[in-house]
Amino acid sequence: NAGVTQTPKFQVLKTGQSMTLQCAQDMNHEYMSWYRQDPGMGLRLIHYSVGAGITDQGEVPNGYNVSRSTTEDFPLRLLSAAPSQTSVYFCASTSGQGRLDYGYTFGSGTRLTVV
């Protein structure tokens, strides 16, 4: 049981380049989300999905796109990277309603630097 797998772990981009951060979970979780972590800011929600084919914006969605074609995968796309997107990105998943005691599982993070 791998949990939540994020790739790559590290990435350096030039301003204007595009890339996709991958996130996959093998727990059949309905809910998946992307966060970014900046110094002193905690974690802020970028986009989330409550199931395949359904996505919505979080607190800081500008500059990012997502899609959810399968339950397992939730990629995050940077269309035109900017230095302000330098951050650590976390993907998380959790099961839906019905469980009495549940928690979120986080991936190990992707450290992105935009130069």
Partner 1 sequence: GIQVEQSPPDLILQEGANSTLRCNFSDSVNNLQWFHQNPWGQLINLFYIPSGTKQNGRLSATTVATERYSLLYISSSQTTDSGVYFCAVALFYGGSQGNLIFGKGTKLSVKP
Chain contacts with partner 1 (rule: CB under 8 A)? 30-31, 33, 35, 40-45, 48, 50, 58, 88, 90, 92, 94-97, 101-106, 108-109, 111
Cα–chain center distance at 68: 11
Which 3 state secondary structure label does DSSP give 8?
coil
Q: Which is nearer to partner 1, 13 or 89 (CB)?
A: 89
Tokens of 101: 């005691």
Q: Which is nearer to partner 1, 17 or 44 (CB)?
A: 44
Pairing of strands 110-114, 10-13: parallel
Q: How far is the CB of 97 from partner 1 (least distance, A)?
A: 5
